[in-house]
Amino acid sequence: MKNASRLIICILIPLFLTSCDKESVLTIKATGFDYNAVVSVYPSINSAKAILVKSLKSEPQIYKVRLKKSSYGRLELSSKGNLSFWIYLDEGAQEVEFDANNSSKYPVISSSSKQGMEIISYYKLEAHMLKALNDSMRVAKEMLNNSTPETVTQAANNYNRWTELKGEQHYNIVKEFAKGNPASLFTLMMIEEDGFLGKHGKGYLALINNLSNEVKDSKEGKNLIFEITKASSRELGAKMSDVSGTNPSGKPFDPKILKKVNLFICWLSYDNDCRVNNAKLVSLYEQYKNRDVEFIGISLDKHKKWWTTVIKDDKLIWPQYSDLLHAKSPNLGSLSTQRLPYMFLTDQSGIILSQDLGIDAIAMDLETYLKPGPLPSL
């Protein structure tokens, strides 16, 4: 039996379940897990109360749980690092088999549901198509861990390059999976997970168009087409979308404030990463405030007092705007991803020059676009 520290398996069912719970019979078979392994089933992704918490055992275990409908859920493993996977839960009788020896790729090795087997085939395809990249990433990570002060920058850039290539490969994996599974809703789930959604927008729209009518015309399909269209407006060379909201004094955004180069910062007042980022931005702003550069904050907050208090406490003296609609803000999607802080550069006409910037990359990009003469072509 494989030794492991405490292992937690959490099956999280998404929020789009309907009312009227139904009794579902779930049979779990597990191989290779130690006595600390636990399976937990939650009725929604945000629920704090599990509807099932049981230890995994070698012999088959049969449980009755209350589900609102068959749906895709999330499987989370916590042992020597956190791993997260998708899983399908059927409202009727369902058998799922776990294997600890396969846990780093996908711990579910069989499912009685068609959708469950589709997920298994996706993870097998992913493991196959990412093998060479993962090998290169392991080498790059080892080089980074063993780097010296003289080589750490080069090693970090090399590792980041392989990480970006891995993210890019997601599109090819989804494309290949969709060819063999045109009637699978899981294709839509995987498209939505792509961090380069806007960059691959045209390809994904063509891919969705080749799926079955049932999938393409589903609520999830129509919503995804809408989201891809919004994400495409964030790509390089596109004109940025209109800013929704006002400044703390109630005045709407006016494009006339734009300078030669503009850094837009999408953030939240109560997010710790955003607060850390704010401190670095304050220092950066002092370096560029007199060089035809403007910083512009776009808050995705809900409470005006929280927003304005942090503006004052963090000494954010550049223009700030918010519609105080939080997750319902049109700025989310059209200007920003859900990963905050999100930062991008534009020219004076609002054309996007750089996007999804890390704090360390901003100065280099600003220097590039502040050089005398016309801005570099994209």
Concatenated DSSP letters of 298-347: EE--S-HHHHHHHHHHTT--S-EEE-S-GGG-THHHHTB-SSSSEEEEE-
Q: Smallest Cα–Cα separation from 229: which of 189, 190, 191?
A: 191
Looking at every residue in the chain, the average pLDDT score rounds to 85
Which of these three, 111, 136, 155, is where a domain ends? 111
Q: Is residue 250 assigned to a domain?
A: no
Q: Is residue 317 assigned to a domain?
A: yes
Helix (H) or strand (E) holding 367: helix 359-369
* DSSP-derived secondary structure letter, 6: -
- Pair (15, 101) in one structural domain: yes
- Spatial neighbors of 188 by CB under 8 A, at least 6 apart, are 208, 215, 218, 220, 221, 224
- Pair (140, 74) in one structural domain: no
Q: Is residue 374 assigned to a domain?
A: no
Mean pLDDT for the stretch of residues 183-198: 86
- Pair (304, 351) in one structural domain: yes
Instruction: For residue range 76-89, list pLDDT tens digits in order.
Output: 776 555 677 888 88
Residue 217 C-beta-side C-alpha neighbours within 13 Å? 3
What percent of the chain has a predicted confidence (pLDDT) above 70?
88
Ranking 44-58, 238-252, 319-333 by mean pLDDT, the lowest is 44-58
Q: Is residue 376 assigned to a domain?
A: no
Is the pLDDT score of 126 beyond 90?
yes
Containing structural domain, residue 138: 120-232
Q: Check if the beta carbon of residue 331 is closer than 8 Å to that of residue 244.
A: yes
Cα R_g (the chain), whole angstroms? 24
Is the pLDDT score of 230 beyond 90?
no
Scan for tokens 């993210």, then name that residue. 167
Q: Is residue 196 assigned to a domain?
A: yes
Q: Is residue 377 assigned to a domain?
A: no
Domain containing 103 — which CATH number? 2.60.40
Which of these three, 80, 111, 142, is where a domain ends? 111
How many structural domains are present in the chain?
3
CA atoms of 87 and 126, how far apart (whole Å) = 15
pTM of full prediction above 0.95: no
- Pair (187, 219) in one structural domain: yes
